[in-house]
Amino acid sequence: MTRTYVLCHAHPDDETLATGALALALAARGDVVHVLTATRGEQGEVRPGPHEALQGTAELAVIRERELADAVAALKLAGHTYLGSPPARAAGMQPRRYTDSGMRWVTPTLAGPGDDAGPDSLTEAEATEVAADIAASARAVSATDLVSYDDDGGYGHPDHIRMHHATRAAAEALALPFHVIVTNADGAYDEWLDATSESEALERAYDAYDTQFIRTGDDIVHVGGQADRVVRAAGLRRV
């Protein structure tokens, strides 16, 4: 039976870094994959270059929207929606734009809440409103499964943590399976999906994010200097 997955993310690039391999592997086996992005990543750091002075500006949001559109095309997704924009908006509610809450580095690899969250930010919104918008998005595409980060948000970003809880609440309201992303094969998972046969498409998605990181082969250097690797296989664990 064909299933329809909605991958629920906080910022542009999360769909590639966390679930690019999952999206490609699911699509390759015949499933339908949509991505829901909560914010435009306005508060994200920008790696050195022509755009580094744009952090927190409307100009950066436009650039990151363009990067996301290129990644979505590379990942062969069935569709993409921004949270708060129809159809990812609860019935009877005016469209809204959720903004990036920002963060600070607690350690070189662990994030925590920052001082940049504005009144329109994802973490300032009512949790029930966020969950209702996710549920509306799921209904619109006849989703069978919702996917997001584990309860620590992957690395502690407050927007990631908010998306975990809101996606889980939406899944419970709709009586749909909720799965968390697993990127370590040594961890617990229900299924492991490999996208090595889709390497070219995955690399195009990574290379869309010129403001965020540099890819050299399988090596990634993030904007904060953190070393990482291209994720070519990942798992899902039902909660």
Per-residue pLDDT at 49: 86
Kind plus residue range of the DSSP H or E element containing 104: strand 104-105
Kind plus residue range of the DSSP H or E element containing 138: helix 127-140
Q: How many other CB atoms sit within 10 Å of the CB of residue 203?
A: 17
What are the distances in angstroms from CA 18 to CA 30, 76, 183, 236? 20, 16, 7, 11
Checking if the pLDDT of 194 tops 90, the result is yes
Q: How many domains does the chain have?
A: 1
Checking if the pLDDT of 51 tops 90, the result is no
**How high does pLDDT run on average in the chain?**
96
- Of 34-38, 49-53, 91-95, 110-114, the poorest mean pLDDT is in 49-53
pLDDT band at 207 (very low <50, low <70, confident <90, very high): very high
Residue type present at position 120: D
Print the domain residue range for 93: 4-238
Output the domain CATH number for residue 115. 3.40.50.10320
CB 236 within 8 Å of CB 182: yes
Per-residue pLDDT tens for 5-25? 999 999 999 999 999 999 999
Residue type present at position 217: G
Checking if the pLDDT of 127 tops 90, the result is yes
Q: What is the dihedral of CA 127, 130, 135, 136, to 10 degrees?
A: 140
What are the distances in angstroms from CA 26 to CA 2, 67, 138, 220, 227? 10, 22, 17, 24, 27
Checking if the pLDDT of 53 tops 90, the result is no
Per-residue pLDDT at 191: 97
Q: What is the dihedral of CA 225, 64, 102, 57, to 10 degrees?
A: 110
pLDDT band at 176 (very low <50, low <70, confident <90, very high): very high
pLDDT band at 211 (very low <50, low <70, confident <90, very high): very high
- Of 15-24, 56-65, 137-146, the poorest mean pLDDT is in 56-65
CB 75 within 8 Å of CB 20: yes
Token output for 48:
């050195």
Per-residue pLDDT at 32: 98
Per-residue pLDDT tens for 88-124? 999 999 999 999 999 998 998 899 999 889 999 999 9
pLDDT band at 159 (very low <50, low <70, confident <90, very high): very high
**By C-alpha distance, which of 56, 57, 45 is closest to 13?**
45
